[in-house]
Structure 1
Amino acid sequence: MSALSPISRAACIGGGVIGGGWIARFLLAGIDVKVFDPHPEAERIVAEVLANAERAYGLLTGAPLPKRGRLTFCASLAEAVAGAEWVQESVPERLDLKRRVLAEIDAAAPAGALIGSSTSGLKPSELQAGLAHPGRLFVAHPYNPVYLLPLVEIVGGVETAPETIERAKTVLDAIGMKGVVIAREIEAFVGDRLLEALWREALWLIKDDICDVETLDDVIRYSFGLRWAQMGLFQTYRIAGGEAGMRHFLAQFGPCLQWPWTKLTDVVDLDEALVEKIGAQSDAQAGGLSIRELERIRDENLVGIVQALKASRGGEGWGAGQLLREFEQRLWAQAGAPPVAVDRAAPLELLETRVSPAWLDYNGHMTEFRYLHVFGDTTDALLRLIGVDLAYVEGGHSYYTVETHLRHLDEAKLGEALMCTTQILGTDEKRLHVFHRLFAGPERREVATGEHMLLHVDSKAGRACPAPASILAKLNVLAAAHAGLPRPAEAGRAVGAKARAAAAE
């Protein structure tokens, strides 16, 4: 069992867009996944989705993910579900097909396995019909891409056991997802009901030549789409009501619902001409970009939004960003001290990460304050190495940075791999003096240096204090190993001092 998740083995039946996303989400949480999909190219499709997911996670978080789960493709459904603790069904949206597949799963899966269906709209009670163990079946309806978007609608049927819902929520929370329980089962649940209403109106706007598909998408992504991404519908409208709040908004705009603005009850005829019209406009909008390229652009945008939400409220996070922050805290706690070999001939290699889309400035390069961000993460890795972890900080003590000097030597670009080294220049019972070097790209070109002085503090008292012997003992081992290293020529420099290259001329 992964230390991160209460389960260690999952089975995914179906490896398409949604099934592939589930596979990636489980694997990147350290869960072994067995897959059954009769499609002749299932392995290729899943591999491509997983590659995009790993790329996105590298941009999304610098927290240490667990070791990736083991992926196994199976020749039969029964082989895939054997030993599984969670089985996720993601076959095409046909009631007869889903019932047949779920019946096979129910007959072959271990007695304690949870069985989730990715259905977008079928009632779980309809899916439970004829199952020998209907109490463990529920709808687990995710959103694409499953590996990035955290929401899962959990819907129980008439025979779903309450403990099934609770177990499902626990697992989803552990793998960084937000399981929301829908109180009563209805077709299409909540999310797709809302999307269907918007989709129906959008089709009419295209058919009636009010706009083309690109204009319609622009209206969404440049306005209320941004609001919905972080606040939803009702909270957005509450703010629109001003100081008087939601009641004023409803009083002011409620009567509009009686006006003949929309065609929500008049379904457009998706005849061949309209399908071709929309298809041609969509082709033009894509501008030649492949589906995989569009997926990567989507992933970068989502990562940037979630990262921005994580930094909201002074670093406490908001919405999906707060969820990511809490997930990362569990990842850091699980990882503990990094396994770093102390090499007396070289500085410590403490951090590897990548340049996130959220880190770019208007020039398309990593912006200045993100260099300090990376050096701060490197310092945190050093502190965890000597025992100053989350538990230690929560106990009321830590090291605070009191002085910093950065040198920017080169540009770091989107997606580039970063590696940071640390040399300990000096230490005593209260102080820690370190020197970081940041390298980018496969050639490991040096892009920045950072020199930092830290003080050990009693955070509750707000003053410096000696570090305990247990911390100093680990720190002194590292300091002794670095005592023989040459002191960096850049150490102790003031702003404006000549660089090494200039000084050598």
Structure 2
Amino acid sequence: MSKTAAIIGGGVIGGGWLARFLLNGWDVRLHDPDPEAERKVGAVLAGARRALPMLYDRALPPEGRLTLCGSVAEAVAGADWVQESVPERLDLKHRVLAEITAHAPRNAVIGSSTSGFTPSQLQEGLSRPGAVLVAHPFNPVYLLPLVELVPSAATRPEVLDTAKATLTGLGMFPLHVRAEIDAHIADRLLEAVWREALWLVKDGIATTGEIDEAIRMGFGLRWAQMGLFETYRIAGGEAGMKHFMAQFGPALKWPWTKLMDVPEFTDDLVELIAGQSDAQSGHMGIRELERLRDDNLVAMLRALRQRDAAAGALLNAHEAAMAQPLADTVPLITVRRTVPVDWTDYNGHMNEGRYGQVFSDAADAVMAHVGADAAYIAGGNSYFTVETSVKYLFETHAGEAIEVATRVTTGAGKKLGMSHEMRRAADGALLATCTQFLLHVSLETRKSCPPQPEVLARVEALAAAHREA
């Protein structure tokens, strides 16, 4: 049964929420009085459609249905989740949330994307404050998993539980903020870095470009996979965090930063920052910058996936939750996925080694389908590839959805033969073909041996069905 999300406000954040829900199979209703809302959301959605599927090694669920609504009441009617993403003005949020709570179903979660307001502030004057909590995401919402969930004492416990489960199902990481505080957790940390960066530019110590290089060439890489405290624990060496604290604790009293002071926000300071920022990256349009950001995030997150670390572990868990057994069709559709950006080479198309990866994944899908799955392998048996022949017929590019159709051509005794066709999902163009020959082996002796009877029966049945079709 499909779920429905209502998005109230279709700016950068609202559009990102819309894309996250829609691409995970939810129906989405959008209300935004801006006459440009459809165009703006369309631009965000186009980026998400390209980037989000590249994170995974299987296809996302079928995309939901998007409906533009003329009123808040129309958008929230029947919604399971309502996300308010209007501008950061408390009076505006009060008006919008009052209208949402008046028309949304009683069991709907009502989240606010606010960066700074507390849930108690948002709930003032509402008829149903218990349905409301802060659900603060990070841009781009369709790629970055963090959502700060902040309930108040008035928020119903079941609303928080439903919110956690829903966001996890979207591949996101709901961080339960245990107490109400202005700007929550992450933005307070970002604000501290931002203030110090403004001083460094104002005082002529560094340019905007130099500050960005200091982050992305150094601690930004560490933070991406270890955060702050794990990074400093390592800095303490074998003695750990206590040694680090003892060594660097006195520095907290030194005048290294100006965090308790704020530079005067003058026109001159704005012009200085804006001018340096234009010189740094003004040669690229906003869509180019977003695409560069998304491609870099996809590559970094996929690297973390390989290590099953940090946000990569979250992606692996989400992909495992999306897994479905193969339909017993002829041919078998063994792979549905999008080509990720880190699979392309200097020619701009998928590297030939990645074709081998796709066909290897197809063979793994057949093995799991006949019962030679992870448990079977753990029991000491498997199939090993003996011979592979690949024909490369057409270029394949990052962001393209592909499918592999597989036929079992040989299934007798120790032998398993397959033929694969890889096609572009958009137009059915044949991109590559592959024939594979595998032998069943004992992982204990590393020599060929007959499969277990139940696996052999499945292989023989598949080979017969594919031969007759």
State the TM-score, normalized to the length of structure 2.
0.90
Matched, 1:70 2:70: no
2:89 is the alignment partner of 1:94:
yes
Shift of 1:429: 4.3
Quote the offset at 1:44 in angstroms. 1.1
Q: Offset of 1:85 from its aligned partner?
A: 1.1
2:452 aligned to which of 466, 469, 491: 466
Equivalent residue of 2:63, what SS? Answer: coil
> In the aligned structure 2, how far is the partner of 1:226 from the partner of 1:330?
28
Shift of 1:466: 3.0
Partner residue, 2:311: 320
User: Hey, what does 2:362 align to over in structure 1?
Assistant: 378
Match of 1:496 in 2: none
Match of 1:20 among 15, 20, 28: 15
Q: Deviations over 1:94-140 (max 9, x none)?
A: 11111111111111111111111100010101111111111111100
CA contact under 8 A between 1:308 and 1:358: conserved in structure 2? Answer: no
The amino acid of 1:466's aligned partner reads: Q
Name the aligned partner's letter for residue 401 of structure 1. Answer: F
Correspondence for 2:325: 336
The one-letter code of the counterpart of 1:131 is: L
Which residue number corresponds to residue 45 of structure 2?
50
Compared CA separation, residues 274 and 390, structure 1 to 2 (3 A): farther
Matched, 1:452 2:441: no
The match for 1:244 is 239
Q: Is the 8 Å Cα contact of residues 417 and 442 (structure 1) preserved in structure 2?
A: no
What residue number does 1:234 align with?
229
Write the letter of the residue equivalent to 2:318: F
Q: What is the distance in 1 between the residues matched to 2:339 and 2:167?
A: 28
Instruction: Give the aligned length.
Output: 464
Bigger shift: residues 128-137 or 411-420: 411-420
Q: Which residue of 477, 480, 483 corresponds with 2:467? A: 480
Aligned-residue offset at 1:370: 2.6
Equivalent residue for 2:277?
A: 282
* Code of the aligned partner of 1:254: G
The answer to whether the Cα contact below 8 Å between 1:337 and 1:387 also exists between their aligned partners in 2 is no
Question: Which amino acid in 2 is paired with 1:480?
Answer: R
In the alignment, which of 177, 202, 207 is matched to residue 207 of structure 1?
Answer: 202
Show the counterpart of 1:405.
388
What is the distance in 1 between the residues matched to 2:377 and 2:101?
45
In structure 2, how many angstroms separate the alpha carbons of the residues matched to 1:396 and 1:418? 33
CA contact (8 A) 1:458 1:464 kept: no
Q: Give the Cα separation in 1 of the matches to 2:105 and 2:339.
A: 43
| Structure 2: runs of 5+ lacking an equivalent | none
| Distance verdict in 2 for CA 1:395–1:246, change over 3 Å | closer
Paired residues for 1:162-201 under 5 Å = 162-201=157-196
User: 290, 293, 303: which one pairs with 2:288?
Assistant: 293
- Mapped to 1, the partners of 2:104 and 2:45 lie a distance apart of 25
Instruction: Output the CA distance in 1 between the equivalents of 2:146 and 2:301.
Output: 13
* 1:166-188 deviations in Å (ceiling 9; x for gaps): 11101111111110101111000
The 5-angstrom pairing of residues 399-438 of structure 1 reads 399-407=382-390, 409=392, 412-416=396-400, 418-438=402-422
Deviation (angstroms), 1:479 = 3.7
Alignment of 1:68-147 (within 5 A): 68-147=63-142
Residues 178-235 of structure 1: per-residue CA shift (max 9 Å, x gap): 1010111100010000000000011111111212111111110111111111110000
Cα separation, partners in 2 of 1:241 and 1:423, compared to 1, 3 Å: same
- Write the letter of the residue equivalent to 1:207: K
Is contact 2:48-2:142 (8 Å) kept? yes
Which whole-Å CA distance do the structure 2 matches of 1:381 and 1:457 have between them? 20
Gaps of 5+ in 1: 3-7, 343-347, 483-505
**One-letter code aligned to 1:471:** R
CA deviations over 1:252-310 (Å, ceiling 9, x no partner) = 11111111111111101221111122112222222422211211111111111111111
Q: Give the CA deviation at 1:371.
A: 2.9
Q: Which residue of 2 aligns with 1:487?
A: none
Match of 1:31 among 22, 26, 31: 26
Query: 1:345 is matched with which residue?
Result: none
State how far apart, in whole Å, the 2-side matches of 1:213 and 1:319 are.
29
Q: CA deviation at 1:401?
A: 2.7
How many Å separate the matches in 2 of 1:268 and 1:60? 40
CA contact (8 A) 1:458 1:465 kept: no
For residue 356 of structure 1, what is the amino acid of its counterpart?
Answer: P
Aligned-pair CA distance for 1:67: 1.4
Aligned partner (choices 264, 271, 288) of residue 266 of structure 2: 271
Q: Is the 8 A contact 1:155 1:185 kept in 2?
A: yes
Shift of 1:445: 6.7
Q: Which AA in structure 2 matches 1:274?
A: L
Moved more, 446-455 or 96-105: 446-455
Distance in structure 1 (CA, Å) of the matches to 2:113 and 2:45: 18
